[in-house]
Amino acid sequence: MSIGVETNRPVSRWLVVAVLVAGSAMAVQIGAAAPASAGQVGDAGRFDTWTGYDIGRFPVSVVAGNFTGDGAADVAWARHDFFNNTISVQRNLGDGTMSSVTTYPASPSSTDLAAGDVNGDGNPDLVAVSEGVTLNNTTIDLYLGSSTGTFTRTAVVGGYAPQRVVLADLDADTDLDITTSNGWGATFASVLLNSGNGTFAAELQIPVGAGQLGISANDLDGDSRADVAVARYDSATNDPEIVILGAGAGGAFAVKTRLLPPAPDGEQRGNP
């Protein structure tokens, strides 16, 4: 759910998730495996253990959430694997260690993962987006959470080779709606409004332009309704652009404005 124009995907095979817990504080660090005597984080001895876990190849996105309702943050991550792709969940055992990994099937080549309660039962759910083997996937995977941190997979039609996903209440009815930035030539971002129970109305296709990547949601104009910012790279002008989506006249969700970030010193906009 980060916003920014990025060009490289993480492809390291052996990344490690290190979860360091002290009281209710938690940090998740992703990086190359480090010897137990090095790379320790924290102060005053609060974080004095470092435990590495194998998270599989091609990890791309990780989220933390209290999936089991015990107050200790658990983790889930998605992988950009075209073959037998899965998302994975590890429960926090409350003593600074994590459970064994539970995996759930996912559409091929996932690109992002988000956590939030989409069906309003109080248990966090997961939403994964994936490009697909042929880079035209239109299935968004939903994983409805239970009170014990297990998930049931379902799906909704939307997006086009989606690159990022964000959950936010876009229509001010208190439930979380889905927005995706889309890839591989798609010129629209996708908005799926929640019916309140984790089912979604037909996709709205918002004309943003191609080259979309980063996405973020917040109330940017103070009207008490969430807006969405989509970062894209315009290959026609060689310029980056931030497209702001939000509720316009009559409440319809649409492009509200387009922002051109300042050019770096000494550079000019447009084609050279």
Output the smallest distance, CB 222 to Ca ion, in A. 7
| 54 scored as a contact of Ca ion (CB under 5 A) | no
Which one of 85, 90, 123, 216 is in contact with Ca ion (CB under 5 A)?
A: 123
Report how far apart, in Å, the C-alpha atoms of 238 and of each of 115, 165, 271 are. Answer: 33, 24, 6
Size of site (CB under 5 A) for Ca ion: 22
Which one of 221, 261, 263, 267 is in contact with Ca ion (CB under 5 A)?
A: 221
| 267 scored as a contact of Ca ion (CB under 5 A) | no
Which one of 4, 173, 263, 267 is in contact with Ca ion (CB under 5 A)?
A: 173
Output the smallest distance, CB 54 to Ca ion, in A. 21
- Nearest to residue 83, comparing CAs of 103, 110, 108? 108
| 131 scored as a contact of Ca ion (CB under 5 A) | no
Output the smallest distance, CB 193 to Ca ion, in A. 6
Report how far apart, in Å, the C-alpha atoms of 140 and of each of 22, 108, 121, 159 are. Answer: 35, 11, 20, 7
In the chain, the amino acid numbered 165 is: V
Q: Which residues contact 12 (CB under 8 A, 6 or more apart)?
A: 32, 59
Output the smallest distance, CB 228 to Ca ion, in A. 9
Which one of 81, 177, 203, 241 is in contact with Ca ion (CB under 5 A)?
A: 177
| 171 scored as a contact of Ca ion (CB under 5 A) | yes
Report how far apart, in Å, the C-alpha atoms of 14 and of each of 32, 59, 106 are. Answer: 7, 9, 20
Which one of 227, 229, 240, 241 is in contact with Ca ion (CB under 5 A)?
A: 227
Output the smallest distance, CB 196 to Ca ion, in A. 8
Q: In whole angstroms, what is the distance from residue 106 CA to residue 269 CA?
A: 40
| 216 scored as a contact of Ca ion (CB under 5 A) | no
Cβ count near 45 (within 10 Å)? 8
Which one of 5, 28, 56, 70 is in contact with Ca ion (CB under 5 A)?
A: 70
| 168 scored as a contact of Ca ion (CB under 5 A) | no
Residues lying near Ca ion in the complex (CB under 5 A) are found at 66, 68, 70, 72, 74, 92, 117, 119, 121, 123, 125, 169, 171, 173, 175, 177, 194, 219, 221, 223, 225, 227
